[in-house]
Chains A and B, each alone.
Chain A
Amino acid sequence: MILKNLMRRKVRSILTIVGISIGIGALVSLVAITQGFVTIFSSMLKSRGTDLTVMKANTVDILTSVLGESLGNKILAIEGVKSIAGVLVDIVTIEDRPATLVLGANPGEYVLDHFKLVEGTAIKGVNSNEAMLGSIAASTLKKGVGDDINLETDVFTVVGVFESGNVWEDGAVVVPLKTFQALMDRKNQVTVYNLKLTDSLLAEDVKKIILSRIRGISVMTSKDIAETNQGLQMAKAMSWGTSAIALAVGAIGTMNTMIMSVFERTKEIGILRALGWSRRKILRMILGEAVFLSFIGGVLGLALGTFGVQTLVNLPTLKGLIFGDLSRALYMEAMGIALLLGIVGGFYPAYRGSSVSPMEALRYE
């Protein structure tokens, strides 16, 4: 009966489903991409073997962090710190690729150890114009070992192509730190320091010591860097905010559809009430229709969101920069929200419909 009621106004039902699926699709894609940032960040730090990351205090975006190179020795002197690697990170235009992540690191440092070379060698010269390309960067730039790339005003020679399994690193270009500092006019500066400790379990203790000795910096464990990063928090908030707007539109659409449907069926509801249908039964029927619409909208929304994420991450301009973390938890969350949307959007119409007095409804024209 629920299905038959919805089928009598096919276009209206379809439009409601479309509205819900757009809301759920927006939620899935935005949250998956935001969550993707967190996942990439965490996995990148984890795969590097970094226990602590030091950056400038109160930086909203990690790229805006600026630390002096002299700080490195001070940190290295602290007990429990096994090795330290300063990395200069920036996003620059390389040839046709408008946004490419470039990492400036000293050759041989531990942060480059997890890169698996698939072609050529690692960068060796401290002041050289050698570059290693991540596999995604190599494929989108269409460059291989021996090719030259134009990076800002300099020309670099590709000496190796690597894979790390992390979409950001695989989409990045790695060049010697000194060369990159000179190129970006940021001599003796790094963006972050990656710290490897003698024992990972000492992370909290070492963090406290560093913070007590050096001011103006923040020290984070690999886990909380992704979770507390203000930029990511803002992105998360924005993605949920945008999704909330889309979902509110979906809920209003569902409510509108169901209210119209209840008005149109006042007499029929009266007939059912006269025949002995209880208010609860009527409420369940109307709510069932709303939930059914939202369920279908939810399923389509999941498909739409997945398609959206896959499309975005494969766009040439974004490839290697974003990653969609389409987890089962996100799908379940989105589906739960879709069903909640049906309940919220359907409750008032259902309540109204069930409140109809049978006699008044039978007289209704």
Chain B
Amino acid sequence: MNDVDTIVISNLVKTYEEGKIQALRGIDLRVKKGEFLAVMGPSGCGKSTLLSLIGALEPPTSGKIIVEGTPLDEVKDLDRFRLLSVGFIFQAFFLLPILTATENIQITMFDTIASPLQRRKRAEELLRLVGLEDRMNQLPTKLSGGERQRVAIARSLANDPRIILADEPTGNLDSKTSESIIALLKRINQERGTTLLVVTHDSHVASNAHRIVRLFDGKIVVD
């Protein structure tokens, strides 16, 4: 971790249904390059919304998000931003059921690695990194929850993003598996210097982070 801010959020507001639902009410947050930040808070406090806005999955109602010096509202190609700059990990894994573990990783590399052979090699390398060298050609239905999440982690690393956004990555896993997943994420954060934002309910998961931010009712209450 160094002192450069990789994510700068100022006065971020997100409302739904024409302002009736206020998910985020003026968030200010700075995340340093290589930092492991845990975002905690009760259900519906806006944790996942915060992650989806940082990942450009939806636009904010107002406020500013600057990622690596570029305001997101000035990014012309947000698809490419999601492809190259951030890696997503979801609670429900979100793997495509018809594709094998390696294929699920390769789908994020169609635009970045032209050679199918090179894509496959890269996917296998990432699966080895997450400890799934013997499960490469399995469909998601043949994998355990922990293995699926490892595939999702490998997928998030495919294009070497500088930021990983993980939304409840251990939410569907037992404690032992959760432990190994967090250990893996921590290793990626330390070895690769990837900035890691993890949304979690689990204080044990959060205890591994460099910093914990607590949200309540759309606002940061503890930083």
Interface positions of A (Cβ within 8 A of B): 1, 4-5, 7-8, 267-268, 271-279, 281, 357-359, 362
Residue of A nearest to B85 (CB): A276
- The binding surface of chain A is classed by DSSP as helix
Residue of A nearest to B80 (CB): A276
Cβ-based interface call for B213 (8 A) = no
Chain B interface residue count, CB cutoff 8 Å, equals 24
Decide: B98 and A276 in contact? CB cutoff 8 A: no
Decide: A277 and B98 in contact? CB cutoff 8 A: no
Decide: A359 and B58 in contact? CB cutoff 8 A: yes
Decide: B82 and A4 in contact? CB cutoff 8 A: no
Interface positions of B (Cβ within 8 A of A): 52, 55, 57-58, 77, 79-84, 88, 90, 94, 96, 98-99, 103, 107-108, 110-111, 155, 159
How many contacts A-B (CB < 8 Å)? Answer: 53
- The binding surface of chain B is classed by DSSP as loop
**Which one, B52, B79, B103, contacts A278 given CB within 8 A?**
B79
Decide: B96 and A276 in contact? CB cutoff 8 A: no
Residue of B nearest to A272 (CB): B107
Decide: B155 and A275 in contact? CB cutoff 8 A: yes
Chain A's nearest CB lies how many Å from the CB of B19? 18
Q: Considering the complex of A and B, which 9 residue pairs feature the smallest CB-CB distances, nearest first? A: A276-B83, A276-B82, A278-B79, A359-B58, A271-B94, A359-B57, A4-B98, A358-B57, A275-B108
Residue of B nearest to A7 (CB): B98
**Which one, B52, B94, B103, B108, contacts A276 given CB within 8 A?**
B108
21 A-B residue pairings within 8 Å (CB atoms): A1-B99, A1-B103, A7-B98, A267-B94, A268-B96, A272-B107, A274-B55, A274-B94, A275-B82, A275-B83, A275-B88, A275-B107, A276-B79, A276-B81, A276-B82, A276-B83, A276-B84, A278-B77, A278-B80, A281-B111, A358-B57
Residues of B within 8 A of A274 (CB): 55, 57, 82, 88, 94
> With A and B bound together, what is the CA distance between A8 and B141 in angstroms?
14
